């Protein structure tokens, strides 16, 4: 083999097109997230901006300091830490003390990303790991959502919380319509409110081939179908598919977090499995779990299974069959 | 019926033996570096947990309670487990050398696996009240032992997949190996906290 | 005599069972949610370790090699049973907090490990030193972990509330927090070690 130095061995993300460097992709996604951020500020006022700023700054600072101390090149301009900060902020309620996103971002970057080796090596989605950490550490703070468009911070339960507590059987009981969910006139985390912005952003990313449809579509459809089948207190198959899809963090999670290259499967088949798994877990937690929303945990659990999914969805090597009785060149699974 | 679901869900997802009770942590960290050995260890553990769960239950019910020597639980249980594992190892070696090669070397490790003694003691606590077995005590104990083992194997498999991948990662030197394995287990634990309060 | 102190000292830092040999983790992580639990478990385990080390060292020439592990287990289990009964009688609250981890002392890899690696091959006095040292190392490690978990996780120290400004991070008294702390401590200690050797 003459040209060994042409074979570059590296971990995900593996990028082929010459002008689609990691930076470009990250910043494109960040740009797509901007309208979502704007809507968050529109719905929840300037506090939202504070949360997002602190989260992003903490992420950038943490990554810079750690890379410096490891003697590596500081790569905060590649946009990945910025994105982690934004996504974490999108998972938080609006009126939280600013140390909360700061600590969460620090955990997300330092532990979930850098301790595993930095970009491309982490197993779990850093933003979601940060959110899960904050949820476990300060559950009250993370589940106190405020009323949209209120002058002061007035707490209000999110639609999913109302459903879980049995206070409402469906949208009608909550005094909301699909339009409200779509545009953002209801409570929730910063990035959850405006479904429209999320969907439009997702469509753009799909068109630009930055994300592929397998994961988000299988995730959303499975979660919605599960909610339709099991989600209603009135009985089976009476749930509200659209409600399940538009509420909570499903769109944000399925489009922007489950599609993270590093923590999702490599093959298309694997991505479908991944999406279905996420959807099922989300459905189970939403329906029977203690928490009203399960997207974050569903994705994290499936992240853990990705190495195994990748292993078992390896494409077959050409000319080799699955098993050969005479012990010939059988495909060995290791 | 509720009890059965609670046992299944509780032992595998909510109070998983490794991630939340820390039982079986040593072999978990030791054998989870690759998937094949992890699968073998998992199967061996399930087998030992269920069998020794049965034997210890019988010993408690028909030996310790009647003779009023419940305080001997620890001593008798661990001896039973150690003897049983030794016996099984000999049987497997005699009956099937390939099986021995696959599973047998993990058996001695399983004796000191906190999970095996742990589930036996847990069963006594959960399924005996005031010195007498509750309704369905034996089948429930066996179910608990099986689910605990299943939960153990499940985590072991997930962990082995992750650690195989981490071998190629650029983990900071001080964290290579065990420290990052702990961090991984911690994140897995965070992920599975999503099942807190699960009630079917 | 010097040998005694050497054997004693190694268990505290250089060969600390938890941080450097990484054994006996199950109880360490499970009961270290408060300093008082940590001390209780530490003392109980040390008692068993020292007693079993001494007895096994005394009997070491008499125990047939083929059945030595079950013999060790019998000795260890006997002392664990004694500890269990003493706890139930004189410290029932502690017994309840420690829960199933008390009988699990019998499978604590540290105790069986020291019996196999040291007590079965060394005279009584040295085995006593070894047991004391390892036990002390175990207790210290447990205290360090508990210190972090109790202060960060519940805002208290030995049951006394600390500052009211500080909002404790509940995760630290939960399982994932313990695993996180363990990972950070192991990594941190290794890093410090590497700094010192370079």
The residue in chain A having the minimum alpha-carbon distance to the alpha carbon of residue C188 is A115
Q: Under an 8 A CB cutoff, do B174 and C100 touch?
A: no
Domain hosting B60: range is: 2-166+176-195
- Residue B98: phi, psi to the nearest 5? -60, -40
User: Would you state the pLDDT for residue A116?
Assistant: 92
**Per-domain residue ranges of chain C:** 2-193
**Per-domain residue ranges of chain A:** 22-312
Higher pLDDT, A238 or C73: C73
User: Do B45 and B149 touch, CB atoms closer than 8 A?
Assistant: yes
pLDDT band at B18 (very low <50, low <70, confident <90, very high): confident
Among the listed ranges A1-15, A190-204, B34-48, B155-169, which one has the minimum average pLDDT value? A1-15
Nearest to A117 by CA among A70, A83, A80: A70
Cis amide linkage into residue A13, ω under 30° from 0: yes
Please tell me the distance in Å from A24's CA to the nearest CA on chain B: 23
Q: Under an 8 A CB cutoff, do A138 and C172 touch?
A: no
Judging contacts by C-beta atoms under 8 Å, the chain B residues touching residue C106 are 74, 78, 117
- For A22-312, CATH gives 1.10.3430
What are residue C58's DSSP bridge partners? none
Exposure class string for A299-319: b at 16+ Cβ within 10 A, else e: bbbbbbbbbbbbbebeeeeee
Among the listed ranges A160-169, A223-232, B31-40, which one has the minimum average pLDDT value? A160-169
Average pLDDT of span C37-62: 91
Is A129 an interface residue toward B (CB < 8 Å)? yes
Q: Under an 8 A CB cutoff, do A136 and C180 touch?
A: no
Q: Rounded CA gap, A164 and A187, in Å?
A: 15
User: Would you state the pLDDT for residue A130?
Assistant: 95
Q: Under an 8 A CB cutoff, do B162 and A123 touch?
A: yes
Q: Under an 8 A CB cutoff, do C177 and A136 touch?
A: yes
Average pLDDT of span A188-208: 87
Q: Inform me whether the pLDDT recorded for A150 exceeds 80.
A: no
The number of C-alpha atoms within 13 Å of A33 and in the hemisphere containing its C-beta is: 28
Beta strands C160-161 and B128-129, pairing class? unpaired
Among the listed ranges A6-15, A170-179, A272-281, C68-77, which one has the minimum average pLDDT value? A6-15
What are residue A155's DSSP bridge partners? A146
Furthest C-alpha separation in chain B: 59
User: Do A214 and A268 touch, CB atoms closer than 8 A?
Assistant: yes
Candidates A115, A133, A141; nearest CB to C171: A133
Backbone conformation region of residue C111, classed left if phi is above 0, alpha if psi is from -120 to 50, else beta: alpha
Residue A320 per-residue DSSP state = -
Per the prediction, chain A carries an average pLDDT of: 84
Q: Element (H or E) spanning A275, and its range? A: helix A268-288
User: Would you state the pLDDT for residue A10?
Assistant: 63
User: Would you state the pLDDT for residue A325?
Assistant: 43
- pLDDT tens figures, C126-135: 889 888 988 9
Q: Which of residues 81 through 100 in chain C touch B, CB cutoff 8 A?
A: 81, 84-85, 100
Q: Element (H or E) spanning A84, and its range? A: helix A80-90
- pLDDT tens figures, A202-246: 999 999 888 899 999 999 999 989 888 887 777 777 777 888 888
What the block records as the tokens of A322 is: 């699955």
- Residue C157: phi, psi to the nearest 5? -135, 120
Q: How many CB atoms lie within 10 A of CB A233?
A: 11
As a dihedral over the C-alpha atoms of residue B115, residue B117, residue B119, residue B121, rounded to 10 degrees, the angle is -150
Residue showing tokens 């008082």: C36
What are the start-end ranges of the H helices in chain B?
2-9, 25-31, 35-59, 73-95, 97-103, 107-111, 114-127, 137-166, 178-192
Among the listed ranges A308-322, B48-62, B119-133, C50-64, which one has the minimum average pLDDT value? A308-322
User: Would you state the pLDDT for residue B44?
Assistant: 86
Q: Which of residues 97 through 116 in chain C touch B, CB cutoff 8 A?
A: 100, 103-104, 106-107, 109, 112
Among the listed ranges A29-43, B46-60, B120-134, C11-25, which one has the minimum average pLDDT value? C11-25
Per the prediction, chain C carries an average pLDDT of: 86
Residue showing tokens 């089976």: A236
Domain count, chain B: 1
Among the listed ranges A231-240, B87-96, B145-154, C164-173, which one has the minimum average pLDDT value? A231-240
Higher pLDDT, A300 or C107: A300
In chain A, pLDDT over 90 holds for what percent of residues? 41
User: Would you state the pLDDT for residue A19?
Assistant: 52
Q: Element (H or E) spanning B133, and its range? A: strand B132-133
User: Would you state the pLDDT for residue C8?
Assistant: 81
Furthest C-alpha separation in chain C: 62
Provide the 3-class DSSP secondary structure of residue A193.
coil
The number of C-alpha atoms within 13 Å of C81 and in the hemisphere containing its C-beta is: 16
Q: Inform me whether the pLDDT recorded for A332 exceeds 60.
A: no
Average pLDDT of span C155-167: 77
Q: Inform me whether the pLDDT recorded for A13 exceeds 70.
A: no
Predicted structure pTM score: 0.88
Please tell me the distance in Å from A133's CA to the nearest CA on chain C: 7
Average pLDDT of span A67-90: 89
User: Do B106 and B24 touch, CB atoms closer than 8 A?
Assistant: no
In chain B, pLDDT over 70 holds for what percent of residues? 98
Q: Inform me whether the pLDDT recorded for A329 exceeds 70.
A: no
Query: Is residue B26 included in any domain, yes or no?
Result: yes
User: Would you state the pLDDT for residue A328?
Assistant: 44
The number of C-alpha atoms within 13 Å of A93 and in the hemisphere containing its C-beta is: 24
Query: Is residue B200 included in any domain, yes or no?
Result: no
ipTM, two decimals: 0.88
Please tell me the distance in Å from A13's CA to the nearest CA on chain B: 13
Q: Rounded CA gap, C91 and C94, in Å?
A: 5
The residue in chain C having the minimum alpha-carbon distance to the alpha carbon of residue A103 is C169
Candidates A111, A115, A136; nearest CB to C170: A136
Residue B61 per-residue DSSP state = I
Query: Is residue B171 included in any domain, yes or no?
Result: no
Higher pLDDT, A62 or A145: A62
Residue showing tokens 């199967």: B43
The number of C-alpha atoms within 13 Å of C71 and in the hemisphere containing its C-beta is: 19
pLDDT band at A7 (very low <50, low <70, confident <90, very high): low
**Reduced to 3 DSSP states, what percent helix, strand and coil does chain A have, rounded to the nearest 5?**
60, 0, 40
Q: Rounded CA gap, B5 and A328, in Å?
A: 46
Query: Is residue B188 included in any domain, yes or no?
Result: yes
Q: Inform me whether the pLDDT recorded for C163 exceeds 50.
A: yes
- Residue C58: phi, psi to the nearest 5? -65, -40
Strand runs labelled E in chain C: 156-157, 160-161
Please tell me the distance in Å from C45's CA to the nearest CA on chain A: 31
Per the prediction, chain B carries an average pLDDT of: 86
- pLDDT tens figures, C79-91: 999 999 999 999 8
Q: Element (H or E) spanning A274, and its range? A: helix A268-288
Q: Inform me whether the pLDDT recorded for C194 exceeds 90.
A: no
Higher pLDDT, B173 or A9: B173
Average pLDDT of span C18-39: 83
Q: Rounded CA gap, C115 and A124, in Å?
A: 41
Q: Which residues of B touch C (CB under 8 A)?
A: 19-26, 29, 71-75, 77-79, 82-83, 86, 111-114, 117-118, 121-122, 125, 172-175, 178-183, 185-187, 189-190, 193
What the block records as the tokens of C192 is: 């410090």
As a dihedral over the C-alpha atoms of residue B147, residue B150, residue B151, residue B153, rounded to 10 degrees, the angle is 160
Provide the 3-class DSSP secondary structure of residue B7.
helix
What are residue B129's DSSP bridge partners? B132
């Amino acid at each position: 083999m003459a040209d060994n130095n042409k074979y570059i061995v590296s971990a995900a993300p593996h990028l082929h097109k010459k002008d689609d460097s990691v930076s470009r992709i990250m910043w494109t996604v960040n740009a797509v997230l901007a309208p979502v951020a704007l809507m968050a500020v529109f719905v929840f006022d300037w506090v939202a901006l504070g949360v997002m700023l602190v989260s992003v700054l903490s992420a950038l600072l943490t990554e810079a300091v750690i890379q410096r101390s490891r003697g590596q090149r500081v790569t905060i301009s590649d946009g990945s830490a910025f994105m982690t900060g934004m996504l974490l902020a999108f998972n938080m309620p609006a009126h939280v003390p600013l140390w909360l996103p700061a600590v969460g971002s620090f955990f997300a970057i330092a532990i979930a990303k850098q301790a595993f080796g930095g970009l491309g090596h982490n197993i779990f989605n850093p933003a979601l790991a940060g959110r899960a950490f904050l949820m476990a550490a300060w559950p009250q703070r993370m589940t106190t959502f405020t009323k949209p468009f209120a002058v002061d911070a007035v707490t209000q339960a999110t639609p999913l919380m109302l459903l879980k507590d049995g206070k409402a059987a469906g949208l009608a009981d909550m005094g909301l319509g699909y339009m409200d969910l779509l545009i953002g006139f209801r409570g929730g985390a910063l990035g959850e409110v405006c479904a429209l912005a999320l969907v439009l952003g997702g469509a753009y990313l799909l068109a630009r081939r930055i994300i592929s449809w397998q994961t988000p579509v299988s995730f959303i459809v499975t979660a919605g179908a599960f909610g339709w089948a099991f989600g209603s207190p009135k009985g089976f198959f009476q749930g509200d598919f659209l409600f399940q899809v538009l509420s909570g963090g499903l769109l944000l999670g399925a489009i922007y977090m489950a599609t993270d290259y590093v923590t999702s499967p490599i093959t298309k088949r694997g991505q479908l499995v991944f999406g279905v798994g996420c959807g099922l877990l989300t459905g189970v937690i939403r329906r029977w779990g203690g928490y009203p929303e399960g997207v974050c945990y569903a994705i994290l659990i499936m992240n853990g299974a990705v190495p195994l999914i990748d292993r078992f969805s390896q494409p077959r090597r050409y000319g080799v069959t699955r098993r050969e009785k005479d012990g010939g060149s059988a495909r060995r699974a290791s | 019926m509720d009890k059965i679901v609670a046992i299944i869900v509780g032992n595998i997802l909510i109070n998983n033996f490794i991630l939340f009770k820390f039982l079986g942590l040593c072999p978990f960290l030791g054998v989870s570096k690759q998937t094949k050995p992890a699968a073998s260890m998992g199967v061996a553990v399930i087998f030992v947990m269920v069998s020794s769960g049965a034997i210890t239950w019988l010993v408690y019910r028909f030996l310790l309670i009647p003779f009023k020597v419940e305080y001997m639980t620890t001593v008798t249980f661990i001896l039973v487990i150690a003897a049983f594992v030794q016996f099984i190892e000999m049987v497997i070696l005699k009956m099937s050398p390939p099986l021995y090669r696959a599973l047998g070397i993990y058996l001695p490790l399983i004796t000191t696996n906190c999970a095996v003694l742990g589930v036996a003691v847990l069963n006594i606590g959960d399924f005996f009240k005031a010195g007498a077995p509750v309704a369905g005590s034996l089948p429930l104990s066996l179910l608990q032992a099986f689910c605990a083992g299943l939960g153990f194997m499940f985590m072991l498999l997930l962990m082995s997949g992750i650690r195989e991948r981490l071998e190629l990662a650029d983990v900071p030197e001080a964290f290579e190996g065990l420290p990052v394995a702990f961090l991984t287990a911690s994140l897995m634990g965070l992920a599975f906290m999503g099942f807190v309060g699960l009630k079917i | 005599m010097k040998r005694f102190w050497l054997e004693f000292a190694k268990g505290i830092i250089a060969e600390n069972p938890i941080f450097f040999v990484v054994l006996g983790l199950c109880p360490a992580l499970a009961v270290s949610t408060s300093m008082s639990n940590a001390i209780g478990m530490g003392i109980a385990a040390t008692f068993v370790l020292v007693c079993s080390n001494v007895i096994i060292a005394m009997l070491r020439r008499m125990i047939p090699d083929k059945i030595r592990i079950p013999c060790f287990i019998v000795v260890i289990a006997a002392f664990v049973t004694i500890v269990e009964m003493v706890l139930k009688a004189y410290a029932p609250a502690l017994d309840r907090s420690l829960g199933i981890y008390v009988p699990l002392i019998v499978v604590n890899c540290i105790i069986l490990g020291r019996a196999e690696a040291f007590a079965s091959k060394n005279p009584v006095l040295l085995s006593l030193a070894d047991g004391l040292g390892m036990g002390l190392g175990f207790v210290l490690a447990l205290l360090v972990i508990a210190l972090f978990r109790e202060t960060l996780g519940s805002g208290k120290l030995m049951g006394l509330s600390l500052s009211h400004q500080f909002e404790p991070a509940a995760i630290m008294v939960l399982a994932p927090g313990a695993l996180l702390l363990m990972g950070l401590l192991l990594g941190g200690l290794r890093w410090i070690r590497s700094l010192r050797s370079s």
